[in-house]
Structure 1
Amino acid sequence: MRFLALPVLLALIGLLAGCGAAGTGQKPASAMNGQEHTAYQLSDTALTDTDGEPYSLATDADKPLTLVFYGYTQCPDECPLVMSSLTAALTRLDDADRDKVDVVFVTTDPARDTTKVLEKYLDRYDEDFIGLTGDLKDIVTLAESMRLYIGEADRLPSGGYDLGVHDTHVSAVSQGRASVVWSMNTSPKQFADDITRLLSQS
């Protein structure tokens, strides 16, 4: 029994140390900051981009990674926060990775967010960002295929939707499927780390 005591003690210490690390709430170095989920096939619904051309997230998002955010240009708080974080995140990427990423802003207020309005708004962040508008029903259909239920948000006077804090998410789209979602509180560094990780897997 004397010879078994030390190995058993060391094993117990190792087990307790492992539990302690797990109990700290810290993520492993390889963990995503965003929430990975079962891949959702996007609706092939086509909206209109800032060039006035049809654009389908399911078929026209041809970069290895497309980050999709639903919002509206007159949003006073959450939308500018998320868009600023995404803009800052992309500046953390090297040129090769930056070229592999698109950002698409889908308006939830199409009555006011025309293609020209969207273009002017997005150019303040990055001239390469893509804006989409169209029929409100089509926008809702597309969002629902990504499991984002904007049709349940508060109505704007214009007839669009005012997204609340819990609906303000960014989704990762690749090959017509959405597989990761981030909350509005994700930092630029967290976005950049996850983007780099996703690109390395593509």
Structure 2
Amino acid sequence: MRRTFRLVVLLMALGLVGTACGSSPEEFTGTRLENPYAAPDIELTDTAGEPYSLAADTDKPLTLVFFGYTECPDFCPMVLNNIAAALNRVDDADRKKVDVVLVTTDPARDTPQVMREYLDRFNKDFIGLTGDLDTIIAVGDPMAVYVNDGKLLPTGGYDLGGHSTFTLAIDSNNEAIALWNQETSNTEFAADIHTLLNQDED
């Protein structure tokens, strides 16, 4: 599993070489939500053992939220690596206004320590959230992340699979205003993050 993880990250890193000098997309490449989802005020637990709510504790202008798990062999590391690379592409002012949150769908294995070690491979500022599975399902439901519709893992958690591996953008009003699918590149993430932050300031 770790071998697959390293291979995915390596391939994504090599991909950065080809796109680093490319121009950013001019149009928004994610999906803007005409009817934003309200982030639920339901507490999970972060990697420091502290309570964290996607409504109460998303204090920055933009918070990117992804549901996945640390043993995921493909989409999860790919998406997180692209987000990490995107934050390296934006300027310092934009970067300081963005948080990234991974909500585990496999809490039996994803303890706070396991999540911290996993996320540090991408970015030490990424936030990991865990809790009991019913609470995680309740957090996802209002934002159309149907955790319990995924493939059941041996641990009792869920692999959401390709159909649900989207990343949500929560704004300063605690609303999910946009989303991206798992195929979004780091260049597209970077351009869209900049667009959303500028829009938020207008």
What TM-score, normalized by structure 2, do the two folds share?
0.84
Deviation at 1:196, TM superposition (A): 0.1
Deviation at 1:42, TM superposition (A): 1.5
The CA distance in 1 between the partners of 2:87 and 2:68, in whole Å, is: 19
What SS does structure 2 have at the residue aligned with 1:76? coil
What SS does structure 2 have at the residue aligned with 1:184? coil
The CA distance in 2 between the partners of 1:93 and 1:60, in whole Å, is: 23
- Pick the aligned partner of 2:124 from 122, 127, 146: 127
The CA distance in 2 between the partners of 1:142 and 1:32, in whole Å, is: 27
> For residue 100 of structure 1, what is the aligned residue in structure 2?
97
In the alignment, structure 1 residue 192 sits paired with structure 2 residue 190: yes
- Pick the aligned partner of 2:179 from 178, 181, 199: 181
Deviation at 1:32, TM superposition (A): 1.4
> For residue 3 of structure 2, what is the aligned residue in structure 1?
none
In the alignment, structure 1 residue 66 sits paired with structure 2 residue 66: no
> For residue 137 of structure 2, what is the aligned residue in structure 1?
140
**How many percent of aligned residue pairs carry the same amino acid?**
55
> For residue 34 of structure 1, what is the aligned residue in structure 2?
30
> For residue 167 of structure 1, what is the aligned residue in structure 2?
164
Deviation at 1:109, TM superposition (A): 0.2
Deviation at 1:164, TM superposition (A): 0.7
The CA distance in 2 between the partners of 1:135 and 1:45, in whole Å, is: 12
Runs of 4+ in structure 1 deviating by more than 2 angstroms, as ranges, are none
Structure of larger gyration radius: 1
What TM-score, normalized by structure 1, do the two folds share?
0.84
The CA distance in 2 between the partners of 1:152 and 1:143, in whole Å, is: 11
